[in-house]
Chains A and B, each alone.
Chain A
Amino acid sequence: MDLEYFFQLFLGGLTRGSIYALIALGYTMVYGIIQLINFAHGEIYMIGAFTGLIVSSVLTMVGMPIPAVVILAAMAAIIYSCSYGYTMEKIAYKPLRKAPRLSALISAIGMSLFLQNYVLLAQTSDFLPFPSLIPDFDFWEPYAHIITSPELVIIMTTVVVMILLTFLIKFTKIGKAMRATSQDKMMAALLGINVDKVISVTFIVGSATAAIGGILIASHIGQINFYMGFIAGIKAFVAAVLGGIGSIPGAVLGALVLGWTESFFAGYISSDYEDVFAFLFLVLILIFRPSGILGRSETQKV
C-alpha cells in the first residue's frame, strides 16, 4: 500500500472532518438543549458563505487591502449567521416549545426550505465563484505537498474553535446555565436561569461555528450555491448522531470518523458511492449503537 497516498487521504479526511465538526457542533448543542433537530442549520452555514462572498466582493471592488477584506467578510458572515439563527429560533421554534416534537421538526424542515429558496430568489441559482480568502503562506511552502495551507488553516481554526467552545461551556456562567438547561429546563428556570436567553445564546453560538465552517469550506472549494447547505447539513447531522447527539466531544469525534471513512472509501473503492456509504454507515451505527459512539451519559450534554 502506498504510504504517501494513504497519508494524503488521511489529511483530506481530517480537513473534511473538521468542517463537518464545525457544523455538527451547532446541531449537537441545539439538540442538547431543546431536543430539536435543527434542520435549517445547514442553511445558516450557506447564508454565512453567501454573506462572506457578498461582503468580500463589495470590499474588494471598493479597493480595500486583502487582510482587511478577509477579516471584515468573516465578521460580517458570523454576525449575519448569528442574526439569522436568532431570528429563526424566535419565529419557527419558540412558539412550538410545548408542541409535540414532530411539529417542531416539520417547522424546521419548512424553515430550511424557506431559507434555501429565499437565497435562490434573491441571489441566483448558479454556482458562484468564491475567492480563496486564505493565502498560500510562504513559510509553509516546503510542506505544501503534504498538506496545503488552506487545509492547515481549516484544521487549526477548528481546533481553536473547539478549545474556545469547551472553555465557554465548562468555565463561564452562561456555559453553566446551558448545561443546567439541558439537564432540566424546569429546574433551571426555578433557579433563576433565563431559559429563553440560554436557548437564544445556544442558537447564536451554533450559528457562529456554522458560519466559520461556511467561509472556510467555500474558500477551500472555491464555489458556492444556494443548495450547498443541504448535503453539508445532512452530513454534519450524520456526524453528530454518529458521535452521540448532544455530546460535544462526540460531535467532533463523529465528524472526524465520518471524514476519514468518506475519504478512504472514495480513495480506495469508489467515489461514485461516497454519499451512499456515508448514509449506510449511519444506519449501521444506529442499528448497533443507537445512542452513538459517545452518547451514553446524560452529563455530557451541553
Chain B
Amino acid sequence: MTAKNELTKSLMASIWFMFLTFPIMVIRVNTVTDTIEWRWQNMFAVGFGAFFLSMLWRYLIRKKEMSGKKDSQSRKSPIYQVIRDQKFALPGLAAIAVFTILFPHIFSMYQTNIMISALIYVMLGLGLNIVIGLAGLLDLGYVAFFAVGAYSYALLNLHYGITFWIALPLGGLLGAVAGIILGYPVLRLRGDYLAIVTLGFGEIIRLVMENWNEFSFGPSGIANIPKPGFFGMELSLHATTIYIFYTIVALVIFTIFVINRLENSRIGRAWIALKDDEIACQAMGIDKARTKLRAFALGATWAGMGGVVFAAKTTFINPASFTIWESVIILCTVVLGGMGSIPGVICGAMLLILLPEYLRDFGEFRMITFGSVLVLMMVFRPGGMIENVRKTYQFKK
C-alpha cells in the first residue's frame, strides 16, 4: 500500500472515468441546428474529481473492512447515545415541543407550508418503516396508498360532501383495505418478487387514475378540495395553514406513539422475527400470512391518512403527484434515517424534504443526490444515520 501504488490506482480510476463519461458529459449534439457542443471542461472536472474520490473511496472501503472485524456493538452512533441519554432526553423533548408550538407564529406561512409537507413525509416514512424496517418487506408501491387516501377524500367530498375529519379515518381505513388487497396475493412471494409486484401495483393505481376519466377526472385531477374546517367555522387562509400545521403535528405524535407501542408488542416482535428468518418464525408458531398482512395494512393506514392531509393542504390533486419516484423518496427517507428506527426516520424525512427546499439552486441535483445517497448509504452505512439498536440480553455469570 505504498503512496506510489495509491497514486497509480487513482490515476487509472481518473482515466477510466474520463473515458466512461466522455460521450455523455463532453459531447452535446443539437439535433435541430446540427451542431456539436464540446464541453472539455467537464472532462477535466470528471478526471480531477475521480482522482480524489477514488482515493477517498478506497480509504473508506478499507476502514469499513477493518471495523467489520471489530465487535459490532461498539459501532453505536454518537447521535443515538445522545438521544438515549436521560440527561438530554427531557430538556431536548421540551425544546422540540416549544419550538413546534411556536413555529407557525415565528416563521412565515411559506415556511409553515414547507414544514407541513415535511411532516406529511415523516408520517409516510414512519408508515413505510413498519413495512420495510420492521417486517422487512420491500414495498416500492407505497405511494399507491397515499394516492388512495388523497383520492378518497377528494372524491368523497365531491360526491357526498364528507368533511376532513370524517375523511381522515376513512382514508386510513381505505388505505388499510388497499394494503390488504395488495398484500393478499403477494404473500407467497419472496423479497425481490414482492418489490416488483408492489411497484407494479403502484403504477396500476396511477395509470387507472390517469385513464379512468369518469371516476377520477383523469390527468387534469380534482381541484377545489376544501381545507379542514374548525367546528364549522370558516377560517382565514393564514389561520387554516396554522390549523393544518397543528393537525399534522398531532397526527405525527399519534403515529410515533402507535408505532412505538406496536414495535414492542407481540405483533412488532413477530415482524422483526419474520424479517430475520421466516422458517424459524413459523416454527415458533407465528402465522406468517396474517403477520405480513397486518404489516401491509398498518403501514398503508398511515399513507392513507397522510394522503387525506395532503389533499386538504394542496386543495388540488392529480395523478402526477403519485409517481413511482414519490415511493422512492419515501424509501430514501427510511433508508437514510435508519431502517426500523423511529428517530432515524424522522430525521431522514426532515433532511430529505427540507434541504432541497432551502437549497433552491440545488433543485436539479436533487434526484442525482438521492441516487448517490442510496448507494453510498448501502455501501458504507447500511444502518442509516441513526441506527436501530436491537434489544439484546446479555448472559451474566
Contact = CB atoms under 8 A, between A and B. Distances in A.
Nearest to B329: A113
B197 A283 contact: yes
Interface in A108-130: 109-124, 128-129
B367 A54 contact: no
B25 to A, nearest CB: 5
A129 B30 CA distance: 10
Interface stretch (A6-14, A135-143, A234-242): A234-242
Interface stretch (B150-158, B201-209, B222-230, B279-287): B201-209
Contact of A283 (B21, B185, B208, B324): B185
Given A57-B29, A57-B36, A113 B370 contact: yes
Interface stretch (A91-99, A162-170, A177-185, A258-266): A91-99
A96 B23 contact: no
A102 B204 contact: no
Contact of A114 (B19, B29, B324, B375): B375
Contacts of B19: 83
A225 B207 CA distance: 20
A55 B379 CA distance: 34
B365 interface: yes
Contact of A286 (B36, B136, B197, B211): B197
Contacts, number: 162
Contacts of A123: 24, 28
A37 B31 contact: no
Q: Identify whether the interface residues of B are mostly helix, strand, loop, or mixed.
A: helix
Nearest to A55: B23
A37 B25 CA distance: 27
Contacts of A128: 29, 31
Contacts of B64: 95
A154 interface: no
B214 to A, nearest CB: 13
Contacts of A84: 20
Contact of B371 (A114, A124, A275, A287): A114
Nearest to A77: B23
Contact of B365 (A58, A61, A121): A121
Interface stretch (A17-25, A45-53, A189-197, A206-214): A45-53
Contacts of A283: 185-186, 197, 200-201
Contacts of B208: 273, 276
B382 to A, nearest CB: 5
B371 A112 contact: yes
A217 interface: no
Interface string B186-214: 10110111011101110110011001000
Contacts of A221: none
B20 A83 contact: yes
Interface string A76-109: 1000100110010001100110011111111101
A103 B192 CA distance: 11
Contacts of A2: none
Contact of B368 (A80, A114, A230): A114
A98 to B, nearest CB: 9
Given A122-B25, A275-B207, A282-B200, A110 B193 contact: no
Given A37-B195, A57-B31, A279-B201, A87 B16 contact: yes
B328 interface: yes
A301 B329 CA distance: 34
Given A110-B375, A286-B186, A275 B203 contact: yes
A114 B369 CA distance: 7
B147 interface: no
A124 B29 CA distance: 10
Given A109-B328, A238-B200, A58 B27 contact: yes
A160 interface: no
A290 interface: yes
B24 A47 contact: yes
Interface string B32-50: 0010100000100000000
A237 B203 CA distance: 15
A174 B374 CA distance: 33
Nearest to A37: B192
A100 B94 CA distance: 38
A83 B21 CA distance: 10
Interface string A17-37: 000000000000000000111
A4 interface: no
Interface in A50-71: 50-51, 53-55, 57-58, 61
B317 interface: no
A224 to B, nearest CB: 11
Interface in B335-378: 335, 364-365, 367-368, 370-375, 377-378
Contacts of A96: 378-379
The 4 A-B pairs of least Cβ separation, nearest first, read: A110-B374, A114-B371, A113-B371, A279-B200
12 contacts: A36-B192, A57-B29, A87-B20, A105-B195, A106-B378, A114-B371, A117-B371, A120-B367, A121-B364, A276-B207, A286-B193, A287-B185
Interface of A: 35-37, 47, 50-51, 53-55, 57-58, 61, 76, 80, 83-84, 87, 91-92, 95-96, 99-107, 109-124, 128-129, 230, 234, 237-238, 241, 272-273, 275-276, 279-280, 282-283, 286-287, 290
Given A84-B20, A117-B367, A275-B203, 4 more contacts: A113-B367, A114-B371, A122-B42, A275-B207
